[in-house]
Amino acid sequence: MSKRIFLEKLILIGFRKNYEIEFKRGLNFISGPMSTGKSSIAEMINYAFGSEKHNAYIEIRNSCKEVELQFVIGDRKFKIVRPLFDFNRPVKLFRWIEEKSSFSEDFELLPIDSPANEASLSAFLLNEIGLADITVANQTFSYRDLFKYCYVRQSTIDSENLLKEKDWGSSIKRRPTFEIIFNIYNDLLGNLRQKLKEKGQYINILVKKRDGVYEFLKEIKISDVDEILKEKERLNQLLGEKNKKLVEIKASGKYDDELTLSLEEGIAKLKEKIINYELEIQDKIKYIEKLILLRNQYSSEVQKIEFILEGALVLNKIDFEICPSCLNAIEEKKGCNLCGSELRDLSESEIRIYKSELFRIKRKFNALTSFIESQEFSLSDLKKIRREKNEELHRKQRELDRLRNNYISPFIEQIEQINFEIGNIYKSLEQLENDLKVKSHFSKLNEKILEEENLFDGLKKEIENLQLETITKDEVIKDLSVLLSNILKEFNFPKLSEAYIKDSNYLPYVRGVKYDELGSGGAITMTTMAYFLSIALLKTNSKNHPGFLIIDSPRKNLGADAKNNDEFKDEEIFNSIIKYFISITNNSTNSGGKDKEEDVVEIINDLQLIVINNGYPDFLNQNDLIKIFDGKGTKDLPYGLIDDIENP
């Protein structure tokens, strides 16, 4: 199952004030008369999630500049900010920082583009929910394809073309998207495996980059951030002192020999340090030479024992007339009388003793080799420091010579000297700023690697879930048909019969005919809502629905109407629909129907349902009413979404 999305807050950022709508788990009912901005709430969610444009609302244009949407994917929180009435500009993405309990000040710019552009908003959303890089009908699968199953807009709730299935260009990805939602898309597993492979390769590239940056930091010995900040503070304090000194000299018009004395003292100290480094280097060289001699002794011991173990047996196979050790004549099959050498095979106990000694000496040899290498690195560092100190000594000596011998006016030279030192301080500060940038880059690389590793783990888990998933297309269609029928029963659909979803086109049929042939706006409205609800609610082991559903104007073509004898113009039907919305969002039911045991299917109870309607029934819980507008601005209720405009 992919990660679900929970909408937390929508904010229209205004010129005078901000206009906020907070959402909650379960049912979110928004009520108010026409032209109060109800539908614009749903449209702004749609726009924040990447719709190409939004309607040109006059009140919003006059009052607002940006839309902000806060939402959670899995356990990670994000914020999208998108300019209003400027559809080509990218969105700003902010990430929630748990340690600070706030969104980061830094943001990423994500263009409104196809997910083929990896930097796009759609690619980001698909990455986060775990559906990245899927190709359907030779086109890149987009978050917008998925969002169509989350938003039943006012203009489509009674449409006879509810998913644009009659428009060839718009419908080409409709069927694959349905299959992706229920994990019955044949190419999904292959796409995810390919994505997992590419993600692993990308992580390896990032790790190599990070390791390169780490080695660079070690090489140039960049300090920790705290040390850099302390050094910046010290340099800024020194800069203030130098500037103060410069002002004093210019004001007095007199030469101050303190600078020359300071240089002389600095040169003397540097010479002393260089001498100490020279002595330390010589001592280190002698120490390393002794260590190398000791290592050579170990090497000789190793060779001697190896000769005994490997060569003695070979030599003993030869009949010697003279001793190979001292060249004394020997008797056949006997040892040498002069040096005592015995030409015999080693016993097993002797071999074990020699091997044990060989192992001990080799271990000492390896440890000594590693220690010598560390000492050689230390020697190299000492030589580098000595070289730097020599360069500093030469620079200070040149400054002193210039001040003593090459000036026209000591006063002017002193001013130049202070300016020179101030310039060096500025250079050091600039270098520290660069060091901070490098450290920041290193930190961001670590964060990126962690983020990509989380996505990698999510892909692995999704692949595992897919492999465990046993549900077939026939089972999905059967369960969806049962759920569709049960929902319509709960809606009190008049003369309900033969309600199902057809396996050839994944569209709803009621009374034995396709939904667009029902001949009644009310029938189409009820069927459309039941269809989208069944897709959102059906519970399977692995499912890719985002987990929220927006329904705009469920009362359309329904409710009491004394002037019309339409069987769907019944207030009880509308009330039944709202009661069903309540029942599926307060965890009071776990099935899509109650009539026959064999017709019960398990549903998801944590659906976030956002319902927008002109008015609400009395039995609706006030906690489920997240926004109420009255179109007048009276009775302590706002006029509409833009609640500070003048009353008409």
Residue of higher predicted confidence among 243 and 520? 520
Is residue 417 scored above 60 in pLDDT? yes
How confident is the model at residue 648, as a pLDDT? Answer: 47
Average pLDDT over residues 205-224: 69
Confidence of residue 485 (pLDDT cuts 50, 70, 90): very high
Instruction: List, in sequence order, the alpha helices (H) in 317-347.
Output: none
| Position 1 pLDDT exceeds 90 | no
Average predicted confidence (pLDDT) for the chain: 82
Confidence label for 377 from pLDDT (cuts 50, 70 and 90): confident
Q: Which carries the bigger pLDDT value, residue 23 or residue 458?
A: 23
Query: What is the per-residue pLDDT for 563?
Result: 53
DSSP bridge pairs for 81: 68, 92
Among 211-225, 266-280, 323-337, 386-400, the range scoring the smallest mean pLDDT is 323-337
**C-alpha 203: how far from chain center:** 12
Q: Average pLDDT, stretch 469-483? A: 85
pLDDT digits (tens, 9 = 90+) for 539-556: 887 788 999 999 999 999
Q: What is the mean pLDDT of residues 290-302?
A: 88
pLDDT of amino acid 221 = 59
Higher pLDDT, 204 or 185: 204
pLDDT at 125 over 70: yes
User: What pLDDT is recorded for position 149?
Assistant: 94
- Residue 597 above 80 pLDDT? no
More confident residue, 15 or 459: 15
Rounded-to-integer distance, Cα 58 and Cα 386, Å: 73
Q: What is the mean pLDDT of residues 68-83?
A: 96
CA angle, residues 129, 130, 132, in degrees to nearest 5: 110
* One-letter amino acid for residue 482 of the chain: V
| Reported confidence tier of residue 326, pLDDT bands at 50, 70, 90 | low
List all residues 6 or more positions away from 54 whose beta carbon is below 8 Å from its beta carbon: 40, 43, 44, 46, 47, 84
Residue range 106-117: mean pLDDT, rounded: 92
Could you give the count of Cα atoms lying within 13 Å of 520 in the half-sphere of its Cβ? 18
* Calpha distance 297→303 (Å, rounded): 10
**pTM of full prediction above 0.75:** no
How much is the pLDDT for 94?
Answer: 96
pLDDT value at residue 565: 63
Q: State which of 187-201, 293-307, 337-351, 557-571 shows the largest mean pLDDT.
A: 293-307
Q: Which domains does the chain have, with CATH numbers?
A: 5-184+471-628 (3.40.50.300), 255-406 (1.10.287)
Q: 148-157, 248-257, 458-467: lowest mean pLDDT where?
A: 248-257
Residue 13 has pLDDT above 90, yes or no: yes
β 500-501/508-510 pair status: antiparallel
Helices (H) and strands (E) in the chain, counts: 14, 17
At 499, is the pLDDT very low, low, confident or very high (cuts 50, 70, 90)? very high
Gap between the Cα atoms of 260 and 240, Å rounded: 20
Mean of the pLDDT values across residues 618-625? 94
Q: What percent of the chain clears pLDDT 70, i.e. is strictly above it?
A: 80
48 and 150 Cβ atoms separated by less than 8 Å = no
